[in-house]
Chain A
Amino acid sequence: MKLQQRFSLIKEASAPIAGWFILSVSLRRGLLRWRSTLSLTVMALPAILILLVLAYLPMAGIIVAFKNYMPYRGIFNSDWVGFQNFHFLFGTDQTWQITRNTVLMNLIFIVTGTLVALGIALLFNEIRDSSRVLFKIYQSAIFFPYFISWVIVGSFVSALLNHDSGVINRLLGSLHLPVIDWYASPQYWPLILTIVFLWKNVGFSALIYLSGIVAIDPEYYEAAQLDGASKWQQVRYITLPLLKPLIILLVILALGGIFHGDFGLFFMATGDHSALYPTTDVIDTYVYRALIKLDDFGMSSAAALYQAVVGCILVVLANWIVRCIDPDKAIF
């Protein structure tokens, strides 16, 4: 049977041919995969290098907190002092003061910021359909401060609170009220800083809340309107409950950052007047001052490490809580 012989010959020969074919294809595919991996790795390389040098290397640099760092000796030749810097740090009243200022002010910012931003978002929601032009104007005015640098904001605050030429004191003077030396009275500054913080940030938060409100299905409102619900009732029973996840998410994430103060706010808006430190000095400004002005590398580094450790714990905790509530929204 010549045909059958030929057939079996072909079958026998085709097996290794098929084998080579599959091997060469998978080799080529494997090679292509390797080339792809290489290309992608090279793409990511600049960012990796930058992060290694600017983020990871400084992590190793926390060792400065445990040494008596002398610039001329370098890191490795400076004396090891163990926890001495931390003993100094936690021995002073100032550490409690800066911790309290940081946490308390941030807490005030979170509460007032959320309330005011929500309020503005609700107001925006009422008029964004009916008066688009006016809405754009209001939104621009309230959003704009976010884009102004803290240096300029500092000059704004100075224009208002300057002892001789500031608007507030001039106003007080024209009303025959006593003029206040604002930059020497720390007791007013929690309020002042809160107002400045809100002025700068509330536009941004309001927009985020507004986008959350816009995402709510209008059918809920139509049904409520048919049932005769007032606007206020609609807000209370539809808008707010449906926004709750977003609000909780943003609040918890903000709480995660509660140990870090906004350096621009506390340094520039106050003009760095030392009389105000009791209520405006935060960990960040303290670290800056110790490093740049006092050249106290040890204390500065110890305070920074203190902030980094507590901050890290808080962020991890916050993220864990967020993950429990809504796994999609967690950062990691």
Chain B
Amino acid sequence: MSVQPPPFFASVFARQQTRRRPARKGILVVHAILIVLTTFFALPLLLVLASSFSRESDLALYGYSLWPRHFTLDAYRFLFQDASIVVNGYGVTICVTVVGTFLSVLIMSLFAYVLARRDYRFQRLLTIFLVITMLFSGGLVSFFLVMTQLLHVQDTLLAYIVPFLVIPVNVLILRTHFKGLPIELIEAAKLDGAGEWHIFFKIIVPLSIPALATVSLLVSLAYWNDWFMGLIFITNPRLMSLQYLMYQIAQDMTLLQTTREVANVTPPTLSVLMAMAVVTIGPILLIFPFIQRFLVRGLTLGGLK
């Protein structure tokens, strides 16, 4: 810089220098690319949304489209009034998600806390115990045999809940967080005569709400979206989770037919399938702001260690 501004105005000049940014056409290109990407990413969702509000006859004639030719709520009406099996599936999924998340976070946080305590006698042993499970797995057959022959959870709700109760990655995320808490906290509490359980629930947990919230979100997502456990363990239609039900219906539309005879009306199959998809994603859409807040923060901290 050739001209030295007088000292008094130096700071003002400096501020002006950094604020005066010419509108770069580069920024417009960036926005353009991102808009194209956003459209591409949002496209399937729009397609399904529009199709769920379309008439079945339109779908048969004109195929899927981005905007319903004739707006109708037929598919949703059919879904919630006539297709009791779907409401049932909703109940199954909600129950499994709530119970499963609660149990899973409880068990995993207790375990992660113990793993984080350097003064615990078996800490190294248990850590190795956990890590080995991340390295080698017994495979699908063994898992299937244990669940069906030993635990006998086939065709029960436990088949959905049990497999996700301890997920090593989440345990590590929680452990990293607990390790970050000062050991003096625990020592001080012990000096005051607090027992381990008291320390954990009354001191550690209130301090760990963000980390617990992050893991809870991850776990509920796993439970809500799971279809695989239903696929291999469930045959009873009343116990089918929402996702597994969607899969079954996509394979075989006749599952939607009910005993109530509705003459001359073709069951709206394609649009109902789309409505089911919307209804399944719905809750995720609702909690998405929370996901953005906790996950984005929590994952980057835990994932990168």
A binding-site residues for B, Cβ under 8 Å: 32, 35-37, 39-41, 43-44, 46-48, 50-51, 53-62, 64-65, 74-75, 120, 123-124, 126-127, 130-131, 134, 136-145, 147-156, 158-160, 162, 164-167, 169-170, 199, 203, 207-208, 211-212, 231, 246, 263-264, 268, 284, 287-288, 291-292, 297, 300-301, 304-305, 307-309, 311-312, 315-316, 328-329, 331-332
Total A-B Cβ pairs within 8 A: 270
Question: Is B142 in contact with A149, judged by CB distance below 8 angstroms?
Answer: no
Question: Is A37 in contact with B121, judged by CB distance below 8 angstroms?
Answer: yes
User: Interface residues of A: mostly helix, strand, loop or mixed?
Assistant: helix
Q: Given the interface contacts A46-B110, A291-B141, does A137 sit within 8 Å of B26 by beta carbon?
A: no
Q: Given the interface contacts A54-B146, A127-B31, A331-B131, does A207 sit within 8 Å of B141 by beta carbon?
A: no
The 7 closest A-B pairs by CB, nearest first: A58-B138, A304-B139, A61-B142, A58-B142, A47-B111, A165-B63, A39-B196
Question: Is A40 in contact with B138, judged by CB distance below 8 angstroms?
Answer: no
Contact partner, A54, options B37, B107, B143, B228, Cβ 8 Å: B143
B113 close to A (CB within 8 Å): yes
Interface residues of B in 189-235 (CB under 8 A from A): 190, 195-197, 200, 221, 224-228, 231-232
Query: Would you mind naming 9 contact pairs between A and B with Cβ atoms under 8 Å apart?
Result: A40-B196, A43-B114, A62-B142, A127-B27, A138-B34, A142-B38, A208-B303, A301-B142, A331-B172
Q: B113 to chain A: which residues have CB within 8 Å?
A: 43
Q: Which residue of A lies closest to B136 (CB)?
A: A312
Interface size bracket, B side: 35 or more
A92 to B121, CA, bound (A): 50
Question: Is A44 in contact with B300, judged by CB distance below 8 angstroms?
Answer: no
B137 close to A (CB within 8 Å): yes
Kindly supply a per-residue 1/0 record for chain B positions 141-165, scoring 1 wherever the CB is within 8 Å of any chain A CB and 0 otherwise: 1111110011100000000001101
B71 close to A (CB within 8 Å): no
Q: B65 to chain A: which residues have CB within 8 Å?
A: 167
Question: Is A60 in contact with B138, judged by CB distance below 8 angstroms?
Answer: yes
Question: Is A62 in contact with B270, judged by CB distance below 8 angstroms?
Answer: no
Question: Is A47 in contact with B107, judged by CB distance below 8 angstroms?
Answer: yes
Question: Is A304 in contact with B141, judged by CB distance below 8 angstroms?
Answer: yes
Q: A162 to chain B: which residues have CB within 8 Å?
A: 63-64
B291 close to A (CB within 8 Å): yes
A329 to B128, CA, bound (A): 17
Kindly supply a per-residue 1/0 record for chain B positions 123-141, scoring 1 wherever the CB is within 8 Å of any chain A CB and 0 otherwise: 0001011110111111111
Q: A151 to chain B: which residues have CB within 8 Å?
A: 227, 243-244, 246-247, 250
Question: Is B47 in contact with A160, judged by CB distance below 8 angstroms?
Answer: yes
A218 to B63, CA, bound (A): 51
Question: Is A53 in contact with B299, judged by CB distance below 8 angstroms?
Answer: no
Q: Given the interface contacts A37-B121, A47-B166, A142-B37, does A149 sit within 8 Å of B227 by beta carbon?
A: yes
Contact partner, B110, options A47, A53, A134, Cβ 8 Å: A47
Question: Is B51 in contact with A147, judged by CB distance below 8 angstroms?
Answer: no
Question: Is A288 in contact with B138, judged by CB distance below 8 angstroms?
Answer: no
Interface residues of B in 161-179 (CB under 8 A from A): 162-163, 165-166, 171-172
Nearest CB of chain A from residue B71's CB, rounded to whole Å? 18
Question: Is A140 in contact with B140, judged by CB distance below 8 angstroms?
Answer: no
Kindly supply a per-residue 1/0 record for chain B positions 31-48, scoring 1 wherever the CB is within 8 Å of any chain A CB and 0 otherwise: 101110110111011011
Question: Is B63 in contact with A167, judged by CB distance below 8 angstroms?
Answer: yes
Among the listed stretches B4-12, B80-88, B259-267, B274-282, which one makes contact with chain A, having 4 or more residues with CB under 8 Å of it? Answer: B274-282
Question: Is B303 in contact with A47, judged by CB distance below 8 angstroms?
Answer: no
Q: B45 to chain A: which residues have CB within 8 Å?
A: 144, 156
Q: Which residue of A lies closest to B122 (CB)?
A: A41
A291 to B143, CA, bound (A): 11
Nearest CB of chain A from residue B277's CB, rounded to whole Å? 5
Q: Given the interface contacts A40-B114, A165-B60, A211-B304, does A304 sit within 8 Å of B146 by beta carbon?
A: no
Contact partner, A147, options B33, B37, B291, B299, Cβ 8 Å: B291
Q: B15 to chain A: which residues have CB within 8 Å?
A: none
Contact partner, A331, options B37, B134, B196, Cβ 8 Å: B134
Q: Which residue of A lies closest to B289 (CB)?
A: A140
Kindly supply a per-residue 1/0 record for chain B positions 62-95, scoring 1 wherever the CB is within 8 Å of any chain A CB and 0 otherwise: 1111000000000000000000000000000000
